[in-house]
Amino acid sequence: MHPRSLSEDKDVSPSRGGQTGSFVISLDCELFWGVRDKRRLQDYRENLLGDRQVVPRLLDLFDEFDVHATWAFVGFLFYSDRSSLVSNLPDRLPQYANARFSAYDEIAELGEDESLDPFHFGGSLIEEVLRHPGQEVASHTFSHFYCLEQGQTVEDFRADLEANCRAARRHGVELKSLVFPRNQVNPDYLEACYDLGIRAYRGNTSSWLYRAMNEEEESNIRRALRYADAFVNLSGNRIVQPEGNGSKIPVDVMASRFLYPQYRWSAPLDRMRIRRIAKEMRAAARDGYCYHIWWHPHNFGVNQDANLRILRRILEEYRVLHNEYGFEALSMSEVADRVLRQSAA
């Protein structure tokens, strides 16, 4: 007996051109590198230690539901000790107008290795992901590089991504997908991605709420509206069609929705946001589109059981839609391969 669907829309209609829809999960794996310019380590310590605990629990869930996910790691995390990281830094470093955006100045203060500094090294996490079939290890740039902040250049970005590719090869990984930190997608940098073997990236939908901006342009109003949009429909049905053709690589596997963690005060509203996600998933499955959710493992680092229960409910909905429509859970690179095959046919 299949689980009961959470979405109310039961109408069955042919998918877009007979095409099967895809369900994509991408995770921004960054430990402290992703929040170092916004938080103090001592204040976020519990989330970061919980990050390391929740990763194997996420992998077990993905195995259970046969979900292929994309794990986009900051390149620094491919190393397990400071000396190896220092010896593999790029020759060219970004010169941000605001110096706090650069992670490089903090390397000298890191602990000696992953056992002593679990907040900045992640070699064991990457090996854990690689032990599970169907999981893609991808790029979140080498240094959590901000592509829309003032001062950095495309040449800086290329050097950063080259260092990320070298770091990944230490684990036998050829990077094929990229997630831009803070979703700062810069179209001028896609050629460098292509040159270095990237076939897919996570772009943003056209809604004003989700358009790529740098920190100076971002506002608390936009953040608040994005959060409200997770519960009530402010931006429409956020199913997407990955964009690409035989000559357009990398493919834009656009994000649909950020999976916010549960907060104590928001728990009574969880059913609303789960139902919103379920409705969008059903629309994507029915009409042959893509639905792409994302979050950071450290978001689930506290209240792990509650957050994993929410994810399980979403994956149960995925299983229903897989059985009804053939909805398929794919990594970002697998979606790009599908798009490119179809465009070449």
Q: Domains of the chain: which residue ranges? A: 16-344
Report the candidate in 142, 176, 25 with the shortest Cα–Cα distance to residue 73: 142
Burial of 195 per CB tally in 10 Å (0-12, 13-18, 19+): exposed
Contacts 24+ apart (CB under 8 A), 169-173: 170/78, 170/79, 171/78, 171/123, 171/126, 171/127, 171/130, 171/137, 172/130, 173/126, 173/130, 173/137
- The pLDDT score that the predictor gives to residue 208 is 86
Q: Report, as an integer, the average pLDDT of 203-218.
A: 90
- Higher per-residue confidence, 248 vs 133: 133
β-bridge partners, 26: 70, 294
Average pLDDT, the chain: 92
DSSP state of 234: S
At residue 158's C-alpha, the angle toward residues 23 and 186, to 5°, is 55
pLDDT at 130: 98
The sign of the CA dihedral 209, 329, 31, 192 is negative
273: which DSSP letter? H
Listed residue (237, 234, 335, 242) closest to 283, CA to CA: 237
Q: Which two tokens stand for residue 54?
A: 């929740």
Bigger pLDDT: 326 vs 344: 326
The pLDDT-based confidence of 344 (bands split at 50, 70, 90) is confident
Question: Cα 185 to the chain's mean position, in Å?
Answer: 13
Two tokens at 46? 């519990």
Q: Are 243 and 199 in contact (CB under 8 A)?
A: no
Whether pLDDT at 13 is above 70:
no
The verdict on domain 16-344 having CATH code 3.40.50.300 is no
Question: What percent of the chain clears pLDDT 90, i.e. is strictly above it?
Answer: 84
Dump pLDDT digits (tens) for 301-315.
Answer: 999 999 999 999 999
Reported as a single tens digit per residue, the pLDDT across 116-148 is 999 999 999 999 999 999 999 999 999 999 999
pLDDT of residue 7: 53
For the beta carbon of residue 13, count every other beta carbon within 10 angstroms. 7
